[in-house]
Amino acid sequence: MPKNGVTIRKMKEILRLYFDAKLSMHQIAKSLSISSGVVHKYIKQAKALNIKWPLPDSITNDEELLTLLGSKRNASETVESIDYQAIHTEFKRKGVTLQLLWEEYHEAKIVTLSYSQFCRRYRNWQGKQPSSMKQTHKAGDKTFIDYSGMTFKIIDPETGEIRPAEIFIGVLGASNYTYAEATWSQKLQDWVASHVRMFEFFGGVTALLVPDNLKSAIHKSCRYEPDTNPTYAELVSHYSTAVLPARPYKPKDKSKAEGGVLLVQRWILAKLRNETFVGLPELNVAISKLLIALNNKPFKKKPGSRASLFETLDKPELRSLPKCKYEYKDYKQAKVHVDYHIELEGHYYSVPFRHVGKRVEVWYNQNIVECFYQGKQLAIHARSNIKGQHTTLLEHMPKSHQKQSQWSKPRFLNWAGTIGENTQKIANHILDSKDHEEQGFRACLGLLKLGKKHTNERLESACHYAWLNNLRTRKSVLSIIKKDLDKLTGLEIINLSKPITHENIRGSGYYH
């Protein structure tokens, strides 16, 4: 009999009255003339061991029931036989739930706890772990990203000066597998390039990226709706992942990154503190060697290492890398000018003329410039660094401008030559008489169009007359046609060339 004097009969009655008769603990205590505390104790212990009424088939005699309920130590040993660390590791696998783990343990008769007690015991164990252990991250789910905050001074190979290098760090949520590298800055281009190399190191991509509210990643910091930088968003889209920025002033959101930062500072940067490096490649070679040692370093409080957990947890769940690496591009918005060009660092690039006045998205790098409107690509150009110049595609122009853009001296002379030799001479004279031949294009076009109005034969005749009489402008040719001067006979030309005499006209002698 237990020390409190409760017989095996009363023990069974407590179970029957509670589970079958549905009496309260106070009513049971009054019915059996025992204290409410004793009733509470046995009911609590029975629930912990998943013993109800009627008794389970596994309990075949009173001695077994007495052993289970009458000894606190035995019940405790049954509970403590559970490997909570193994449960915690298994729970990180995608699709694995506590319900599934409880069923597996229950079927294997490792525990006889109810599901609710199983969950409660696990949560109690989890609450006693370090802060980094309290959060459960599913395999392949998240990558936590940050900079070390502690720079590493190296020699710039180009200038010979000592410069600080930034340390980029990425940590996988489930396995704590860590990546680190040195870059010259935290600027957008370095930030994006570090991501590309990190994905290559992991051999895949997690479903979510959790960066700190770094300006290179987050354009507008907000606790509830942070705005991702457009270039960073383009990187994220290329790798089919998503961004979940850590909330400002919420250190638990990035505890994995902060833990990774401390490890890299202690086990990599501290070990390299007395060495001298020239350039980033030399430093990154040293970091990569120590990174292998860090990831293979055994855990102190649980079996395995970051590398072994990575192989079993994160690696199988990572999303595949795309066929091509992301190619870095800068981003800006630009308004389409009235001449259907946008301006980028002093150079002008064309877009279809229908978008004049609209704001378009411009993606560019050292080699290429792409223009988009509402997600549709409008134009793609080779990058030019010549300021003040235009890069224009013919198909972007209105039809009238397209024809104008095709004007050139050889084209005009060929056109004039089809009309006649004299027309070609006048056209050539008009083009050559200008400081820039483009200034003569319109006058030359006007000359040649006279052939459509008055026939090419008449134009050639007028140009012949103009050339002989040194009247070599478009206006002169037009005047000749209007006055029919090219139709005059020889006698008429002689009479026309004689001076006019009249009593009202003063001669040259009048002025002497």
Return the domain boundaries, the chain.
Answer: 8-79, 81-129, 142-317, 330-403, 407-497
Distance CA 317, CA 331 (A): 32
Q: What number of helices (H) and strands (E) belong to the chain?
A: 22, 15
- 37's tokens: 């505390």
For the entire predicted model, the pTM comes to: 0.52
**CA–CA separation, 287 vs 276, rounded Å?**
13
User: What's the rounded Cα separation, in Å, for the pair 14 and 37?
Assistant: 12
Q: Rounded CA gap, 479 and 280, in Å?
A: 77
pLDDT of residue 200: 95
Contact 488, 496 (CB under 8 A): yes
Residues 6 or more apart in contact with residue 174 via CB below 8 angstroms? 92, 137, 138, 139, 140, 141, 309, 313, 314
Q: Which residues contact 452 (CB under 8 A, 6 or more apart)?
A: none
Q: What is the pLDDT along the chain (512 residues), one digit of tens a residue?
A: 555 556 777 888 888 888 888 888 888 887 777 888 888 888 888 888 888 888 777 776 777 777 777 654 444 434 445 777 777 777 777 667 778 777 777 776 666 677 888 788 777 777 776 654 445 678 888 899 989 888 899 999 888 899 999 999 999 988 889 999 999 998 888 999 999 999 999 999 998 888 875 655 555 444 433 456 788 888 888 998 888 876 554 555 556 667 888 888 888 988 888 899 999 999 999 999 999 999 999 987 778 899 999 999 899 989 999 999 888 888 889 998 877 888 998 898 989 988 888 999 998 988 889 999 988 899 999 998 888 888 888 888 777 655 555 667 888 888 888 999 999 999 988 888 866 555 567 788 888 888 888 898 999 999 999 998 888 888 899 999 988 888 876 544 444 444 555 555 555 555 55
> Cβ of 290: how many Cβ atoms within 10 Å?
17
Q: Give the pLDDT score at 205.
A: 95
Closest CA to 305 of 320, 284, 291: 291
Q: Reduce the secondary structure of 155-213 to three states and give it as a string.
A: ECCCCCCEEEEEEEEEEECCCCCEEEEEECCCCHHHHHHHHHHHHHHHCCECCEEEECC
Round to the nearest angstrom and report the end-to-end CA distance of the chain. Answer: 159
Q: Return d(Cα 313, Cα 302) in angstroms, integer.
A: 15
Residues 6+ apart with CB under 8 A from 60: none
* Structure token pair of residue 342: 């946008």
CA dihedral for 346, 349, 353, 356, sign (positive or negative): negative
**Cis link prior to 54 (omega < 30° from 0)?**
yes
CATH topology of domain 142-317: Nucleotidyltransferase; domain 5 (3.30.420)
Q: Return the pLDDT at 80.
A: 45
Which uninterrupted H or E stretch holds 296? helix 280-296
Decide if 337 contacts 347 (C-beta within 8 A).
Answer: no
Could you give the CA distance from residue 188 to residue 146 in angstroms, rounded to a whole number? 13
Residue 259's alpha-carbon distances to 74, 209, 232, 265, in angstroms, are: 39, 16, 24, 10
**Residue 210, class by beta-carbon neighbours within 10 Å (0-12 exposed, 13-18 middle, 19+ buried)?**
buried
Rounded to whole angstroms, how far apart are CA atoms 88 and 381?
54
Q: What is the largest CA-CA distance in the chain?
A: 161
CB 244 within 8 A of CB 253: no
The whole-angstrom separation of Cα 256 and Cα 305 is: 16
Give me the pLDDT at residue 490, please. Answer: 53
